[in-house]
Amino acid sequence: MTTVTLYHNPRCSKSRQTLALLEEQSVQIDIVEYLKNAPTAEDIQAILTMLAVSPRALMRTKETEYKEQNLGDSNLSDEQLIAAMVNTPKLIERPIAIANGKAAVGRPPENVLAIL
């Protein structure tokens, strides 16, 4: 049986929809409420590698914290952007599903089916 790690925010409708979609599949789900248990820099780097995207592509750029922390500054390094996500996990796009050595962002929720 496939195990899916889901970085989940229960207050987010897309995250809830993704969880419901995964529950319909024959998979075991390991839910990580990332706002309560923030991922480490190493976790985020691993997710970025699996998604083959830059840190900024995994960030919620419309969040107030993004603007307040001046994270739109193009001079910031990947390490600085990852540190911002570790320190302010609300900035991380959600939900993120990981299975079979691959990751997918559940926007739309059906995106996660590709990694099962």
Active site residues: 12
- The amino acid at 87: N
Residue carrying structure tokens 């001079």: 75
Of 56, 54, 57, 39, the closest CA to residue 98 belongs to 39
Alpha-carbon distance of 63 to 42, in angstroms, equals 23
Alpha-carbon distance of 31 to 5, in angstroms, equals 6
